[in-house]
């Protein structure tokens, strides 16, 4: 082989070696860029996935809290209604006992004592004495007992249960000592004592 051919092959070999080296370098740089792009995309996908997961968790928490709130409210309404039903029943029984008491022998004397006590405390004056509609059989007895004053039978739809109301027209002073008023006050005091506030519309 001539020297020229040897030189040519050597030159060609150097060129091919340089090309291969450049090719390898280019491929390395390309692989590096691809890897960087891949890593970047992967990070973006991971961040997007994280946001989706967080949003989903927030939605789950919100739905869970809504369910818990609704359940708590439902239980609270049931509890309040249960308490209200018990209290209503207790005071309904109390009303029946008071109604039964107005039919006893001692009720008339008790009523007279109440009227006299209130007249003494309210002082001199011209009185109107209100009695319950169901006590109308006592009207003539009371009118004869207090001839200087007027006895008035309360209207049927106004619930007194028993007891009396007095109006001192001279002093413009009124007192309600009916059983219905006292029962209402007892109920209010009972609810306050038990720290129970019940709205009659709860659960409607």
Q: What is the DSSP string of 104-147?
A: STTHHHHHHHHHHHHHHHH-SS-EEEEE-GGGGGGHHHHHHHST
**DSSP code at position 164:** E
d(CA 94, CA 184): 11
Strands 173-178, 163-168: pairing is antiparallel
Residue whose C-alpha is closest to residue 164's, from 196, 118, 121, 126? 118
Residue 128, strand partner residues: 150, 167
Q: Provide the pLDDT for residue 201.
A: 43
Superfamily covering domain 102-193: ATP synthase, E subunit, C-terminal (3.30.2320.30)
What residues in the chain have per-residue pLDDT under 70? 1-31, 34-35, 37-39, 42-43, 45-46, 48-50, 52-53, 56-57, 59-61, 64, 67-68, 72, 75-82, 194-204
Domain ranges of the chain: 1-79, 102-193
**CA 203 vs CA 74, 77, 83, 177: distances in Å:** 9, 6, 13, 33
d(CA 127, CA 113): 16
Q: Provide the pLDDT for residue 204.
A: 47
Residue whose C-alpha is closest to residue 98's, from 51, 153, 160? 160
Tens digit of pLDDT for each residue in 136-190?
Answer: 999 999 999 999 999 999 999 999 999 999 999 999 999 999 999 999 998 888 7
Q: Provide the pLDDT for residue 189.
A: 82
Which tokens sit at 41? 């995309």
């Amino acid at each position: 082989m001539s020297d020229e051919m040897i030189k040519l092959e050597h030159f060609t070999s150097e060129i091919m070696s340089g090309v291969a080296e450049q090719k390898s370098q280019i491929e390395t740089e390309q692989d590096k860029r691809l890897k960087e792009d891949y890593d970047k995309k992967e990070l973006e996908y991971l961040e997007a996935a994280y946001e989706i997961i967080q949003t989903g968790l927030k939605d789950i928490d919100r739905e869970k809290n809504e369910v818990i709130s609704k359940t708590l409210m439902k239980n609270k309404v049931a509890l309040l209604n249960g308490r209200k039903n018990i209290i209503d029943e207790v005071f309904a029984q109390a009303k029946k006992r008071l109604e039964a008491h107005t039919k006893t022998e001692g009720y008339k004397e008790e009523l007279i004592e109440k009227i006299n006590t209130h007249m003494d405390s309210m002082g001199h004056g011209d009185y109107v004495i209100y009695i319950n509609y169901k006590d109308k059989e006592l009207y003539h007895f009371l009118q004869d007992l207090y001839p200087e004053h007027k006895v008035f039978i309360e209207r049927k739809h106004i619930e007194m249960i028993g007891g009396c109301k007095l109006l001192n027209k001279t002093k413009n002073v009124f007192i309600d000592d009916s059983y219905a008023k006292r029962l209402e006050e007892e109920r209010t005091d009972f609810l306050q004592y038990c720290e129970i506030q019940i709205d009659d519309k709860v659960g409607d």
